[in-house]
Amino acid sequence: MANLFLFLSLSLFFSKNIINNKIPESNAIIVEYVHSVIGEKVGRGECWDLASEALEKADAEWNGKYTYGELLSLKTDTILPGDIIHFTNVKMKYERNDTLFTEKMKNHTAIVYKVKKINQIFTIAEQNTSKGRFVTTSKLEIENIIKGKIKIYRPVKEDEKH
């Protein structure tokens, strides 16, 4: 019964957030894993520990540094939950509740948890932030990035490589 409930919950989650209800298996496993560890410390609490553990659960490859699969483009690819974002020297500015915020990320890794607006607004899962060394979610609006680079990767299993 619990498995049926989890299946139905994940099906509803994905159907609301994925175009054409299609998500690669590795991405689905990663999102399910992230959901299970929200509020917990993964590994040593470093940002890449979350990505590393999620990729391991999905049996997907990465280079042990900052390449987490197939590099995607915000211009030509549809970013999906379970994709992994790496931030390099990023500076963001945004306003919430009449307050201006600035965030900086020298090297940071996060996982797309939900897609709110295709290739523009995401809920990301991350750890080792100002909130602490445990998994939290936050809103990422691409238009708020004023400096630096982001790279987005689609997890790839060994047997899926070309």
Mean pLDDT across 24-34:
97
The predicted-structure confidence for 41-75, as pLDDT tens digits, reads as follows: 999 999 999 999 999 999 998 888 888 999 999 99
Residue ranges of domains in the chain, CATH in brackets: 2-160 (3.90.1720)
Under a CB-based contact definition with an 8 Å cutoff, are residues 68 and 153 in contact?
yes
Quote the pTM value. 0.84
Banded pLDDT at 21 (limits 50, 70, 90): low
Residue 135 to residues 46, 108, 138: CA-CA distances in angstroms? 10, 13, 10
Degrees to nearest 5, angle at CA 79 with 22 and 159: 65
More confident position, 82 or 6:
82
- Whole-angstrom Cα distance, residue 112 to residue 6? 20
pLDDT tens-place string over residues 31-41: 999 999 999 99
pLDDT tens for 87-136 read 999 999 998 899 999 999 999 999 999 999 999 999 999 999 999 999 99
Our separate counts of H helices and E strands in the chain read 3, 6
